[in-house]
Structure 1
Amino acid sequence: MVTMHDDILMMGRSRGWLLEPEAKEICRRYGIPIGEWRLAKSKADAIRASKELSYPVAIKLVSPDVVHKSDVGGVKLDIEDDDGAGLAFEELDNVCKTRGYRFEGVLIERMAQRGIETIVGAKRDIQFGPVMMFGLGGIFVEVFKDVSFRVSPISDEDAKEMITELKAYPILKGIRGRPPSDIDSIAGLLVKVSKIMNELELVNEIDLNPVIVYERGFAIVDARIILRQ
Protein backbone atom coordinates (compact mmCIF):
# COMPACT_ATOMS: atom_id res chain seq x y z
CA MET A 1 0.00 0.00 0.00
CA VAL A 2 1.36 3.41 -0.98
CA THR A 3 1.62 5.90 1.87
CA MET A 4 2.71 9.50 2.30
CA HIS A 5 5.75 8.20 4.17
CA ASP A 6 7.18 6.11 1.32
CA ASP A 7 9.78 8.82 0.61
CA ILE A 8 11.49 7.90 3.88
CA LEU A 9 10.71 4.17 3.90
CA MET A 10 12.20 3.68 0.45
CA MET A 11 15.49 5.25 1.59
CA GLY A 12 15.89 2.45 4.13
CA ARG A 13 14.49 -0.42 2.05
CA SER A 14 17.83 -1.60 0.67
CA ARG A 15 19.57 -1.59 4.07
CA GLY A 16 16.56 -3.01 5.92
CA TRP A 17 16.26 -0.28 8.55
CA LEU A 18 16.00 3.48 8.95
CA LEU A 19 18.78 5.77 10.08
CA GLU A 20 17.98 7.55 13.34
CA PRO A 21 17.11 10.86 11.62
CA GLU A 22 14.71 8.97 9.32
CA ALA A 23 13.13 7.05 12.21
CA LYS A 24 12.63 10.23 14.19
CA GLU A 25 11.04 11.92 11.17
CA ILE A 26 8.50 9.08 10.88
CA CYS A 27 7.69 9.55 14.58
CA ARG A 28 7.35 13.31 14.12
CA ARG A 29 4.93 12.85 11.21
CA TYR A 30 2.71 10.74 13.47
CA GLY A 31 2.50 13.54 16.03
CA ILE A 32 5.08 12.07 18.42
CA PRO A 33 7.06 14.84 20.16
CA ILE A 34 10.69 14.68 19.06
CA GLY A 35 13.30 16.96 20.58
CA GLU A 36 15.18 19.36 18.33
CA TRP A 37 18.20 17.85 16.60
CA ARG A 38 20.72 18.63 13.86
CA LEU A 39 22.56 16.51 11.28
CA ALA A 40 26.15 17.67 10.82
CA LYS A 41 28.46 16.41 8.08
CA SER A 42 31.58 18.40 8.95
CA LYS A 43 33.46 19.34 12.10
CA ALA A 44 32.55 23.00 11.65
CA ASP A 45 28.87 22.09 11.22
CA ALA A 46 29.01 19.94 14.36
CA ILE A 47 30.39 22.81 16.43
CA ARG A 48 27.89 25.28 15.00
CA ALA A 49 24.94 22.92 15.56
CA SER A 50 26.02 22.18 19.12
CA LYS A 51 26.13 25.88 19.94
CA GLU A 52 22.72 26.43 18.35
CA LEU A 53 21.18 23.67 20.48
CA SER A 54 23.10 24.79 23.60
CA TYR A 55 25.46 22.59 25.58
CA PRO A 56 25.51 19.95 26.94
CA VAL A 57 24.73 17.84 23.88
CA ALA A 58 24.85 14.23 22.74
CA ILE A 59 26.57 13.47 19.43
CA LYS A 60 25.77 10.19 17.67
CA LEU A 61 27.14 8.43 14.63
CA VAL A 62 24.97 8.23 11.50
CA SER A 63 26.04 5.39 9.22
CA PRO A 64 24.09 2.98 7.01
CA ASP A 65 26.46 0.25 8.20
CA VAL A 66 25.80 0.66 11.94
CA VAL A 67 22.47 -0.35 13.49
CA HIS A 68 23.59 -0.44 17.14
CA LYS A 69 25.68 2.70 17.61
CA SER A 70 26.75 1.99 21.19
CA ASP A 71 28.33 -1.32 20.15
CA VAL A 72 30.98 0.51 18.11
CA GLY A 73 31.48 3.51 20.38
CA GLY A 74 29.19 5.58 18.21
CA VAL A 75 27.63 7.70 20.97
CA LYS A 76 29.29 10.64 22.75
CA LEU A 77 27.43 12.06 25.74
CA ASP A 78 27.66 15.19 27.89
CA ILE A 79 29.61 17.25 25.36
CA GLU A 80 29.99 20.63 27.06
CA ASP A 81 31.94 22.91 24.70
CA ASP A 82 33.15 23.55 21.14
CA ASP A 83 36.38 21.61 21.64
CA GLY A 84 34.42 18.60 22.83
CA ALA A 85 32.01 18.80 19.90
CA GLY A 86 34.85 18.98 17.40
CA LEU A 87 36.68 16.09 19.03
CA ALA A 88 33.50 13.96 19.14
CA PHE A 89 32.95 14.52 15.41
CA GLU A 90 36.54 13.49 14.63
CA GLU A 91 36.34 10.38 16.80
CA LEU A 92 33.07 9.23 15.21
CA ASP A 93 34.42 9.90 11.74
CA ASN A 94 37.47 7.82 12.68
CA VAL A 95 35.25 4.93 13.84
CA CYS A 96 33.99 4.67 10.28
CA LYS A 97 37.40 5.10 8.67
CA THR A 98 39.06 2.39 10.78
CA ARG A 99 36.21 -0.11 10.34
CA GLY A 100 35.40 0.63 6.73
CA TYR A 101 31.91 1.98 7.47
CA ARG A 102 30.20 4.63 5.39
CA PHE A 103 29.97 7.93 7.25
CA GLU A 104 26.91 10.12 6.76
CA GLY A 105 27.59 12.57 9.57
CA VAL A 106 26.51 12.88 13.17
CA LEU A 107 23.18 13.54 14.84
CA ILE A 108 23.35 16.19 17.56
CA GLU A 109 20.74 16.84 20.23
CA ARG A 110 20.60 18.34 23.68
CA MET A 111 21.24 15.98 26.55
CA ALA A 112 17.96 14.79 28.03
CA GLN A 113 17.23 15.70 31.62
CA ARG A 114 17.11 12.98 34.24
CA GLY A 115 13.83 11.14 34.62
CA ILE A 116 12.46 7.61 34.62
CA GLU A 117 13.74 5.48 31.75
CA THR A 118 11.18 3.40 29.90
CA ILE A 119 11.09 1.36 26.71
CA VAL A 120 8.39 1.51 24.04
CA GLY A 121 8.54 -1.16 21.39
CA ALA A 122 6.54 -2.92 18.71
CA LYS A 123 7.16 -5.96 16.55
CA ARG A 124 5.30 -7.74 13.79
CA ASP A 125 4.59 -11.29 14.97
CA ILE A 126 3.95 -14.08 12.45
CA GLN A 127 0.92 -15.33 14.39
CA PHE A 128 -0.55 -12.22 16.02
CA GLY A 129 0.53 -9.43 13.69
CA PRO A 130 1.76 -6.15 15.24
CA VAL A 131 2.38 -6.48 19.00
CA MET A 132 3.10 -3.59 21.36
CA MET A 133 5.54 -3.73 24.29
CA PHE A 134 6.15 -1.41 27.23
CA GLY A 135 8.47 -1.59 30.22
CA LEU A 136 10.75 0.35 32.51
CA GLY A 137 14.36 0.46 31.37
CA GLY A 138 17.51 -0.99 32.84
CA ILE A 139 17.25 -3.72 35.47
CA PHE A 140 13.45 -3.93 35.25
CA VAL A 141 13.60 -5.25 31.68
CA GLU A 142 16.99 -6.96 31.72
CA VAL A 143 16.67 -8.81 35.02
CA PHE A 144 13.03 -8.86 36.10
CA LYS A 145 11.50 -9.04 32.59
CA ASP A 146 8.84 -6.62 33.83
CA VAL A 147 7.14 -5.82 30.53
CA SER A 148 3.60 -5.73 29.19
CA PHE A 149 2.25 -6.66 25.75
CA ARG A 150 -0.85 -6.00 23.66
CA VAL A 151 -1.86 -6.94 20.14
CA SER A 152 -2.09 -3.79 18.01
CA PRO A 153 -4.09 -1.67 17.34
CA ILE A 154 -4.55 -0.50 20.91
CA SER A 155 -6.86 2.07 22.46
CA ASP A 156 -5.95 4.69 25.02
CA GLU A 157 -7.46 2.43 27.68
CA ASP A 158 -5.32 -0.50 26.49
CA ALA A 159 -2.23 1.69 26.65
CA LYS A 160 -2.94 2.78 30.22
CA GLU A 161 -3.47 -0.85 31.25
CA MET A 162 -0.07 -1.72 29.75
CA ILE A 163 1.47 0.88 32.03
CA THR A 164 -0.44 0.20 35.24
CA GLU A 165 -0.03 -3.59 35.15
CA LEU A 166 3.75 -3.37 35.44
CA LYS A 167 5.17 -4.49 38.79
CA ALA A 168 7.26 -1.33 38.70
CA TYR A 169 4.23 0.92 38.11
CA PRO A 170 4.51 2.49 41.60
CA ILE A 171 7.77 4.07 40.43
CA LEU A 172 5.89 5.82 37.63
CA LYS A 173 3.03 6.69 39.96
CA GLY A 174 5.46 8.39 42.32
CA ILE A 175 6.97 6.96 45.51
CA ARG A 176 9.08 8.30 48.37
CA GLY A 177 8.27 11.89 47.61
CA ARG A 178 8.94 11.64 43.86
CA PRO A 179 6.36 13.38 41.66
CA PRO A 180 4.14 11.15 39.51
CA SER A 181 5.18 10.62 35.89
CA ASP A 182 3.06 11.77 32.97
CA ILE A 183 1.12 8.55 32.40
CA ASP A 184 -1.26 10.14 29.89
CA SER A 185 1.56 11.24 27.61
CA ILE A 186 3.14 7.78 27.60
CA ALA A 187 -0.23 6.19 26.88
CA GLY A 188 -0.59 8.57 23.94
CA LEU A 189 2.85 7.59 22.69
CA LEU A 190 1.92 3.90 22.80
CA VAL A 191 -1.24 4.55 20.80
CA LYS A 192 0.69 6.50 18.14
CA VAL A 193 3.35 3.80 17.81
CA SER A 194 0.54 1.27 17.43
CA LYS A 195 -0.87 3.39 14.62
CA ILE A 196 2.47 3.42 12.82
CA MET A 197 2.63 -0.38 12.98
CA ASN A 198 -0.89 -0.80 11.63
CA GLU A 199 -0.61 1.77 8.85
CA LEU A 200 2.94 1.21 7.57
CA GLU A 201 3.14 -2.37 6.35
CA LEU A 202 6.85 -2.03 5.58
CA VAL A 203 7.68 -1.49 9.25
CA ASN A 204 8.62 -4.70 11.03
CA GLU A 205 9.89 -3.39 14.35
CA ILE A 206 10.02 -0.14 16.33
CA ASP A 207 12.32 0.40 19.29
CA LEU A 208 12.18 3.66 21.25
CA ASN A 209 14.78 3.17 23.95
CA PRO A 210 15.11 4.89 26.24
CA VAL A 211 12.06 7.07 26.52
CA ILE A 212 12.67 9.26 29.57
CA VAL A 213 9.44 10.18 31.33
CA TYR A 214 8.98 13.37 33.32
CA GLU A 215 6.27 14.90 35.48
CA ARG A 216 5.13 16.54 32.25
CA GLY A 217 5.96 14.91 28.92
CA PHE A 218 8.83 12.68 27.87
CA ALA A 219 11.99 12.62 25.76
CA ILE A 220 12.77 9.98 23.14
CA VAL A 221 16.52 9.54 23.34
CA ASP A 222 16.93 6.95 20.58
CA ALA A 223 14.62 5.65 17.87
CA ARG A 224 15.12 2.58 15.69
CA ILE A 225 12.83 1.27 12.96
CA ILE A 226 13.50 -2.08 11.26
CA LEU A 227 11.82 -2.75 7.90
CA ARG A 228 10.31 -5.92 6.50
CA GLN A 229 12.36 -7.75 3.89
Structure 2
Amino acid sequence: MEKKIKLWFESLGDKENPDEFDAKQLVKLYSIKVPKGKRLGPEDEFDVNGINPPYVLKVCSSDILHKTEFQGVVLNNDNECVQDNFKMIQKRFVNEHILVENQSSYMGPEFIIGIIKDPALGHAVMVGAGGVLTEIYKDTAFRLAPCSINDARDMIDELVLSPVFENFRGMTLDKEKLAKTISQVSWLAHDMGDKLSQLDINPIVFSNGDWIALDVKVLFEK
Protein backbone atom coordinates (compact mmCIF):
# COMPACT_ATOMS: atom_id res chain seq x y z
CA MET A 1 0.00 0.00 0.00
CA GLU A 2 1.22 3.48 -0.89
CA LYS A 3 2.74 5.48 2.00
CA LYS A 4 0.31 8.36 1.42
CA ILE A 5 -2.62 5.93 1.78
CA LYS A 6 -1.18 4.53 5.02
CA LEU A 7 -0.85 8.03 6.47
CA TRP A 8 -4.43 8.79 5.46
CA PHE A 9 -5.67 5.64 7.20
CA GLU A 10 -3.77 6.64 10.33
CA SER A 11 -5.52 10.03 10.29
CA LEU A 12 -8.91 8.29 10.58
CA GLY A 13 -8.24 6.83 14.01
CA ASP A 14 -10.83 4.21 14.90
CA LYS A 15 -13.55 5.30 12.44
CA GLU A 16 -15.41 2.43 10.78
CA ASN A 17 -15.73 4.47 7.57
CA PRO A 18 -14.48 7.94 6.56
CA ASP A 19 -16.84 10.91 6.51
CA GLU A 20 -17.08 13.28 3.54
CA PHE A 21 -14.23 15.50 4.72
CA ASP A 22 -11.95 12.47 5.16
CA ALA A 23 -12.97 11.07 1.77
CA LYS A 24 -12.13 14.37 0.09
CA GLN A 25 -8.69 14.38 1.70
CA LEU A 26 -8.17 10.95 0.15
CA VAL A 27 -9.04 11.95 -3.42
CA LYS A 28 -6.93 15.10 -3.07
CA LEU A 29 -3.92 12.78 -2.71
CA TYR A 30 -4.59 11.79 -6.32
CA SER A 31 -4.73 15.38 -7.65
CA ILE A 32 -8.54 15.45 -7.70
CA LYS A 33 -9.81 18.90 -6.78
CA VAL A 34 -12.44 19.52 -4.10
CA PRO A 35 -14.06 22.74 -2.85
CA LYS A 36 -12.19 24.69 -0.21
CA GLY A 37 -13.74 23.95 3.17
CA LYS A 38 -13.34 22.92 6.77
CA ARG A 39 -14.96 20.46 9.17
CA LEU A 40 -16.27 21.95 12.41
CA GLY A 41 -17.03 19.80 15.44
CA PRO A 42 -19.83 20.32 17.99
CA GLU A 43 -17.49 22.26 20.29
CA ASP A 44 -15.77 24.32 17.59
CA GLU A 45 -16.47 27.99 17.10
CA PHE A 46 -18.04 28.98 13.80
CA ASP A 47 -15.29 29.89 11.34
CA VAL A 48 -15.35 30.56 7.59
CA ASN A 49 -11.96 32.26 7.35
CA GLY A 50 -10.23 31.35 4.10
CA ILE A 51 -13.45 30.22 2.41
CA ASN A 52 -15.21 32.46 -0.10
CA PRO A 53 -19.00 32.84 -0.26
CA PRO A 54 -21.46 31.56 -1.24
CA TYR A 55 -21.18 28.71 1.24
CA VAL A 56 -22.69 25.26 1.42
CA LEU A 57 -23.30 23.67 4.82
CA LYS A 58 -23.47 19.87 5.16
CA VAL A 59 -23.78 17.43 8.01
CA CYS A 60 -20.51 15.49 7.94
CA SER A 61 -20.97 11.94 9.23
CA SER A 62 -20.04 8.51 7.90
CA ASP A 63 -23.41 7.31 9.23
CA ILE A 64 -25.43 9.76 7.08
CA LEU A 65 -24.61 8.97 3.45
CA HIS A 66 -27.72 10.53 1.86
CA LYS A 67 -27.55 13.98 3.39
CA THR A 68 -30.17 15.67 1.19
CA GLU A 69 -32.87 13.17 2.16
CA PHE A 70 -32.31 14.00 5.84
CA GLN A 71 -32.27 17.77 5.27
CA GLY A 72 -28.56 17.77 5.95
CA VAL A 73 -27.54 20.24 3.22
CA VAL A 74 -28.11 24.02 3.15
CA LEU A 75 -27.12 25.82 -0.07
CA ASN A 76 -26.66 29.44 -1.11
CA ASN A 77 -25.46 30.86 2.20
CA ASP A 78 -24.05 34.37 2.15
CA ASN A 79 -22.13 36.13 4.91
CA GLU A 80 -25.34 37.44 6.49
CA CYS A 81 -27.16 34.13 6.91
CA VAL A 82 -24.42 31.49 7.09
CA GLN A 83 -23.90 31.60 10.87
CA ASP A 84 -27.62 31.33 11.65
CA ASN A 85 -27.98 28.45 9.21
CA PHE A 86 -24.93 26.79 10.72
CA LYS A 87 -26.60 26.89 14.15
CA MET A 88 -29.81 25.53 12.63
CA ILE A 89 -28.09 22.53 11.08
CA GLN A 90 -26.17 21.94 14.31
CA LYS A 91 -29.46 21.70 16.22
CA ARG A 92 -30.83 19.33 13.57
CA PHE A 93 -27.80 17.04 13.89
CA VAL A 94 -26.68 17.21 17.50
CA ASN A 95 -23.12 15.96 18.18
CA GLU A 96 -22.28 15.66 14.47
CA HIS A 97 -19.59 17.54 12.57
CA ILE A 98 -20.59 20.17 10.01
CA LEU A 99 -18.75 20.74 6.76
CA VAL A 100 -18.51 24.36 5.58
CA GLU A 101 -17.41 24.74 1.95
CA ASN A 102 -17.27 27.19 -0.89
CA GLN A 103 -20.25 26.50 -3.16
CA SER A 104 -18.88 25.92 -6.66
CA SER A 105 -20.60 27.42 -9.69
CA TYR A 106 -20.51 25.31 -12.83
CA MET A 107 -21.87 24.97 -16.33
CA GLY A 108 -23.03 21.75 -17.91
CA PRO A 109 -24.21 18.37 -16.62
CA GLU A 110 -23.10 16.61 -13.47
CA PHE A 111 -21.09 13.39 -13.73
CA ILE A 112 -20.35 10.50 -11.40
CA ILE A 113 -17.07 8.60 -11.06
CA GLY A 114 -17.24 5.48 -8.96
CA ILE A 115 -15.49 2.32 -7.86
CA ILE A 116 -17.25 -0.98 -7.28
CA LYS A 117 -15.72 -4.27 -6.20
CA ASP A 118 -16.60 -7.49 -7.97
CA PRO A 119 -15.93 -10.64 -5.90
CA ALA A 120 -14.29 -12.36 -8.86
CA LEU A 121 -12.76 -9.57 -10.95
CA GLY A 122 -11.79 -7.03 -8.30
CA HIS A 123 -12.24 -3.28 -8.58
CA ALA A 124 -13.90 -1.62 -11.58
CA VAL A 125 -14.08 2.11 -12.28
CA MET A 126 -17.26 3.70 -13.60
CA VAL A 127 -18.17 7.03 -15.17
CA GLY A 128 -21.65 8.23 -16.02
CA ALA A 129 -24.36 10.84 -15.79
CA GLY A 130 -24.34 12.06 -12.20
CA GLY A 131 -26.31 14.02 -9.64
CA VAL A 132 -29.58 13.01 -8.02
CA LEU A 133 -30.85 11.35 -11.22
CA THR A 134 -27.97 8.88 -11.63
CA GLU A 135 -30.19 5.85 -11.06
CA ILE A 136 -32.77 7.10 -13.58
CA TYR A 137 -30.31 7.90 -16.39
CA LYS A 138 -28.29 4.67 -16.04
CA ASP A 139 -25.84 6.13 -18.56
CA THR A 140 -22.58 4.51 -17.45
CA ALA A 141 -19.38 2.90 -18.73
CA PHE A 142 -17.02 0.57 -16.84
CA ARG A 143 -13.41 -0.68 -16.98
CA LEU A 144 -11.35 -2.82 -14.65
CA ALA A 145 -9.04 -0.81 -12.38
CA PRO A 146 -6.47 0.49 -12.88
CA CYS A 147 -7.21 1.93 -16.30
CA SER A 148 -5.21 4.21 -18.57
CA ILE A 149 -6.20 7.69 -19.69
CA ASN A 150 -6.92 6.24 -23.14
CA ASP A 151 -9.28 3.68 -21.58
CA ALA A 152 -10.97 6.47 -19.63
CA ARG A 153 -11.36 8.54 -22.80
CA ASP A 154 -13.07 5.58 -24.47
CA MET A 155 -15.39 5.25 -21.46
CA ILE A 156 -16.51 8.86 -21.86
CA ASP A 157 -17.12 8.31 -25.59
CA GLU A 158 -19.42 5.36 -24.78
CA LEU A 159 -21.82 7.55 -22.81
CA VAL A 160 -25.09 8.78 -24.31
CA LEU A 161 -24.05 12.08 -22.70
CA SER A 162 -20.76 12.23 -24.64
CA PRO A 163 -21.93 14.90 -27.18
CA VAL A 164 -21.75 17.53 -24.41
CA PHE A 165 -17.97 17.45 -24.92
CA GLU A 166 -18.31 18.56 -28.55
CA ASN A 167 -19.17 22.19 -27.78
CA PHE A 168 -22.83 21.27 -27.31
CA ARG A 169 -24.80 24.53 -26.88
CA GLY A 170 -21.58 26.36 -26.17
CA MET A 171 -20.40 24.05 -23.37
CA THR A 172 -16.61 23.89 -23.09
CA LEU A 173 -16.10 20.81 -20.93
CA ASP A 174 -12.57 19.40 -20.80
CA LYS A 175 -12.78 15.71 -21.75
CA GLU A 176 -9.04 15.16 -21.37
CA LYS A 177 -9.04 16.36 -17.75
CA LEU A 178 -12.04 14.18 -16.95
CA ALA A 179 -10.31 11.15 -18.51
CA LYS A 180 -7.23 11.83 -16.38
CA THR A 181 -9.41 12.07 -13.27
CA ILE A 182 -11.12 8.75 -14.05
CA SER A 183 -7.71 7.09 -14.43
CA GLN A 184 -6.50 8.63 -11.15
CA VAL A 185 -9.55 7.27 -9.33
CA SER A 186 -8.87 3.82 -10.77
CA TRP A 187 -5.30 3.96 -9.46
CA LEU A 188 -6.57 5.05 -6.06
CA ALA A 189 -8.65 1.86 -5.97
CA HIS A 190 -5.65 -0.20 -7.05
CA ASP A 191 -3.48 1.33 -4.32
CA MET A 192 -6.05 0.79 -1.57
CA GLY A 193 -6.41 -2.87 -2.47
CA ASP A 194 -8.79 -5.12 -0.56
CA LYS A 195 -9.54 -2.43 2.02
CA LEU A 196 -11.80 -0.50 -0.41
CA SER A 197 -15.36 -1.68 -0.98
CA GLN A 198 -16.90 1.30 -2.78
CA LEU A 199 -16.14 4.89 -3.76
CA ASP A 200 -18.50 7.47 -5.26
CA ILE A 201 -17.66 10.95 -6.48
CA ASN A 202 -21.13 12.30 -7.18
CA PRO A 203 -21.40 14.83 -8.52
CA ILE A 204 -18.17 15.87 -10.14
CA VAL A 205 -18.61 19.07 -12.16
CA PHE A 206 -16.58 21.32 -14.46
CA SER A 207 -15.95 24.64 -12.71
CA ASN A 208 -13.46 27.38 -13.58
CA GLY A 209 -11.40 25.15 -15.84
CA ASP A 210 -11.20 22.10 -13.56
CA TRP A 211 -13.27 19.10 -12.55
CA ILE A 212 -14.36 19.51 -8.92
CA ALA A 213 -15.56 16.65 -6.71
CA LEU A 214 -18.53 18.15 -4.85
CA ASP A 215 -19.35 15.04 -2.83
CA VAL A 216 -17.25 11.96 -2.10
CA LYS A 217 -18.25 8.74 -0.31
CA VAL A 218 -15.89 5.92 0.62
CA LEU A 219 -16.87 2.57 2.14
CA PHE A 220 -14.42 0.02 3.50
CA GLU A 221 -14.65 -3.75 3.34
CA LYS A 222 -16.02 -5.05 6.61
TM-score, with structure 1 as normaliser: 0.86
The answer (yes or no) to whether the contact 2:35–2:103 under 8 Å persists in 1 is: no
Alignment match, 1:85: 82
Distance 1:141 1:63 in 2: 22
More displaced 10-residue stretch of structure 1: 109-118 or 134-143: 134-143
Alignment match, 1:212: 205
* Structure 1 residue 179 corresponds to structure 2 residue 171: yes
The answer (yes or no) to whether the contact 1:61–1:74 under 8 Å persists in 2 is: yes
* Structure 1 residue 156 corresponds to structure 2 residue 149: yes
Distance 1:76 1:61 in 2: 9
CA apart distance, 1:45: 3.8
CA apart distance, 1:52: 3.3
Alignment match, 1:96: 93
Give the % identical residues: 23
* Structure 1 residue 73 corresponds to structure 2 residue 76: no
Alignment match, 1:170: 163
* Structure 1 residue 52 corresponds to structure 2 residue 45: no
Distance 2:178 2:116 in 1: 18
Distance 2:84 2:208 in 1: 35
The answer (yes or no) to whether the contact 2:130–2:203 under 8 Å persists in 1 is: yes
Alignment match, 2:127: 134
* Structure 1 residue 110 corresponds to structure 2 residue 108: no
Q: CA RMSD in A?
A: 2.3
CA apart distance, 1:219: 1.4
Distance 2:24 2:4 in 1: 15
The answer (yes or no) to whether the contact 2:54–2:102 under 8 Å persists in 1 is: yes
More displaced 10-residue stretch of structure 1: 30-39 or 158-167: 30-39
CA apart distance, 1:136: 1.7
Alignment match, 1:146: 139
Distance 1:179 1:159 in 2: 20
Distance 1:195 1:205 in 2: 14
Structure 2 CA distance for partners of 1:214 and 1:81, relative to 1, 3 Å = closer
Distance 1:213 1:86 in 2: 28
SS of aligned partner of 1:6: helix
Distance 1:93 1:181 in 2: 37
CA apart distance, 1:59: 0.9
The answer (yes or no) to whether the contact 1:13–1:227 under 8 Å persists in 2 is: no
Amino acid at match of 1:128: L
TM-score, with structure 2 as normaliser: 0.88
CA apart distance, 1:183: 0.5
Structure 2 CA distance for partners of 1:215 and 1:168, relative to 1, 3 Å = farther
Distance 1:93 1:5 in 2: 31
* Structure 1 residue 188 corresponds to structure 2 residue 180: yes
Unaligned segments of structure 1, at least 5 residues? none
Aligned pairs, number: 220
CA apart distance, 1:140: 6.7
Structure 2 CA distance for partners of 1:85 and 1:43, relative to 1, 3 Å = farther
Unaligned segments of structure 2, at least 5 residues? none
Alignment match, 1:61: 59
Alignment match, 1:17: 17
Alignment match, 2:218: 225
CA apart distance, 1:190: 0.5
Amino acid at match of 2:154: E
SS of aligned partner of 1:120: strand
Offset from partner CA, 1:82-129 (integer Å, 9 cap, x none): 4x21222222211223xxxx41x2111111112221111111111211
